[in-house]
Amino acid sequence: MNNLIILPILIPLITGVVLIFFTKNIMAQRWISAISALLTIIASFMLAHQVYRNGIQTMDLSNWEAPYGITLVSDMLSALLVLTTSIIAFAALFYSFKSIGEARERFFYYPVVNFLIVGVNGAFTTGDIFNLFVFFEVMLMSSYVLIVLGGTKIQLRESIKYILVNVISSALFVIAVAYLYSVVGTLNMAHISVRLSEIGSAGIITVIAVLFLIVFGLKGAIFPLYFWLPGSYYAPPAPVMALFGALLTKVGVYSITRTYTLFFYHDVGYTHQLLQTLAVMTIIAGVIGALAYTDIKKIIIYNIIVAVGVILFGVSILTPESLTGSIFYLIHDMNIKATLFLLIGIIIVITGTSDLEKISGLINRYPALGWTFFIATAALAGIPPLSGFAGKLMVVRSGFETENYIGAFVVLMSSLLVLFSVMRIFIRGFWGTPRAYKNEERAPVKWLLVAPAILTVFAVLYGFGTEAIYPVISTAAETLANPEIYINAVLKE
C-alpha cells in the first residue's frame, strides 16, 4: 500500500475541480494550475524514485484486495511515463499563460487541461483493464472539450470526426474487455495474465489480442487507423496540440505495450508479427506524410506517426533490449514532440501562418528560437549524443539481431527522412531573406520560448545522461519482459 501512487492523479483532479470556482479570475487560475502542476511533478518524481528503490508499488483502492478491487500499479515504466507527463503538462500550461487567449481561459481551459492530465496519469497507473477504459474516457472527454474550445470553423469540423472515431473505438474497447472478461473472468491485469497463461494459446485469445490492437491502434494512430489524426490534431492551438501529440497517442502506445507484454505473449508468431508489420507500415506512411506537406504543423504531426511505428516495432520484437530501446524512445518522443509543437506554435504566433512557403529568415530576428528549434530537430532525428539516439540504436540493433532486417532497415531509413523533413522547416523557415509579418510586434516570444527551451534542455540531458538513465529504463523493460515480476507484485504470492 502506497498512497503516493494516487497523488499524480489526485492533485490535478482536485485542482481541476477547484478551478471551476475561479472561472472569472484568470490570474488565480494561472497560479493555481502552475503550482499544482509543480506539485504533481514533485509527487511523480518521488514516486519514480520509490519505484526504482523498492520495486513495483501497488495500492488497492478502497482497501479491497487484488484481484477483487481496483488496483493501481506503478511499475518503473508507468512511473517514468507519469513523470514525463507531469513535466510536459507543466510546460504546456506555462506556455498557455501567454498564448491561449482570455476567451478560452474563461471557458474552463485550465480545469479541462487538469482533467486531461488525470486521465493520462490514471491510464498509465491503473492495473485494472476496465479502469483503464474509464481513464481513457476521462482523457477523451477532456480532449473533446479542448479540441472544440474556441469554436473556429476548422475546430468544429475536425471535432466531429474526432468524437465519432473515438466514440466508436470506445465502444469497441468495452466489447473487447467484455470478450476478455468472458474468457478469463477477471479484470485485474495481473490476474488476467495468470489466467491467460493457464489457458495458453487459444484461437479466441488471438482474436481478443487483435481486437485490443484495433482499439488501442485507433487511439495510438497506427497504420491504417491513423487516418483521423493529421486532420484532428491540426485544428486546436499549439499548447493543446502539444498535449495531444505528446500524451494522447502515447497512452494508446503504452496500452498496446502493456497488453502485448503482459497478456498476449503466447501466440507471438501471429500477434506480434501482425504488430510488427503494422508498425513498419506505420513508419512508412508517417514518413511519406512528413515529406509530402509544406505545412509545418502537418510535418510534425506526421512525425508523431513515425515515432509510434518505431516504438511499436521495438515492442513487437519483444527482447529485453528492444523493449529498453522502445521505452527510451517513448519517453524521448513525448518530450521532443511537446517541444516541437510548442516551438512551431511560436513560429505561427510570429508569422500568422503555418505555411512554409510564406515563412523565411526567422533566424535573423530570433536566433534563440532558431537554435532551440535546430537542437530539437536534431534530437528528434536521433543524432548522437542527443536524446533520440540511444533508443533508436537499441531498437535497430535488436531488429538486426533477431533477423528482422526489413523492419530495422525501415527504422534506419526513417530517421534519415525524418531529419530531412524537419530540417526543411529549419532551412526554409529560418534561413533566407527576412520578411515582415503582421503580428510580429505583439508576439511574447521570450515568454513562450521558456517552456520549449526547458524541454530542449531535458532532451539534451536525456541524451548525454543515457548512461545514468540506462539502469532505470532497463528496470522498466525487465518488468515488461518478465510478466511474473508484475504479477507477483500485484497479487503478492
Partner 1 sequence: MKTNDVILQTVTKFVLFVIILFSIHLFFAGHYYPGGGFIGGLMTSGAIVLLLLAFDIKTVKMILPFDYIKVVAVGLLIAIGTGAGALFFNMPFLTHAYTYAYLPLLGKTSLHTAVLFDTGVFLVVIGVTMTIIQTIGESE
Q: Which of 21, 31, 400, 405 binds partner 1 (CB under 8 A)?
A: 21
Q: Which of 1, 203, 467, 493 binds partner 1 (CB under 8 A)?
A: 1
Length of the chain: 493
Give the x-and-dash track for 38-67 against partner 1 (CB under 8 A): ---------------------xxxxx----
20 part of the interface to partner 1, by CB under 8 A = yes
CB 111, min distance to partner 1, A: 9
Cell of 162: 474526432
Q: For the chain, what is the largest distance between any 2 Cα atoms, rounded to a whole number of angstroms?
A: 68
10 part of the interface to partner 1, by CB under 8 A = yes
CB 435, min distance to partner 1, A: 45
How many chain residues bind partner 1 (CB under 8 A)?
15
Q: Residue 68 or residue 431: which is nearer to partner 1 going by CB? A: 68
CB 6, min distance to partner 1, A: 4
Between the alpha carbon of residue 242 and those of residues 91, 245, 297, the distances in Å are 9, 5, 11
14 part of the interface to partner 1, by CB under 8 A = yes
Q: Which of 8, 13, 117, 276 binds partner 1 (CB under 8 A)?
A: 13
163 part of the interface to partner 1, by CB under 8 A = no
CB 20, min distance to partner 1, A: 4
User: In this chain, which stretch among 10-18, 43-51, 229-237, 365-373 interacts with partner 1, using CB under 8 A?
Assistant: 10-18
CB 17, min distance to partner 1, A: 4
CB 59, min distance to partner 1, A: 5
Q: Residue 72 or residue 342: which is nearer to partner 1 going by CB? A: 72
User: In this chain, which stretch among 6-14, 45-53, 263-271, 286-294 interacts with partner 1, using CB under 8 A?
Assistant: 6-14
Q: Residue 435 or residue 492: which is nearer to partner 1 going by CB? A: 492
CB 1, min distance to partner 1, A: 6
6 part of the interface to partner 1, by CB under 8 A = yes
The CA distance from 427 to 429, in Å, is 6
Q: Which residues, 61 to 100, sit near partner 1 by CB under 8 A? A: 61-63
Q: Residue 16 or residue 388: which is nearer to partner 1 going by CB? A: 16
User: In this chain, which stretch among 16-24, 120-128, 145-153, 162-170 interacts with partner 1, using CB under 8 A?
Assistant: 16-24
Q: Residue 6 or residue 307: which is nearer to partner 1 going by CB? A: 6
CB 72, min distance to partner 1, A: 8
CB 119, min distance to partner 1, A: 15
239 in Cβ contact with 279 (< 8 Å): no
Give the residues lining the site for partner 1 (CB under 8 A).
1, 3, 6, 10, 13-14, 17-18, 20-21, 59-63
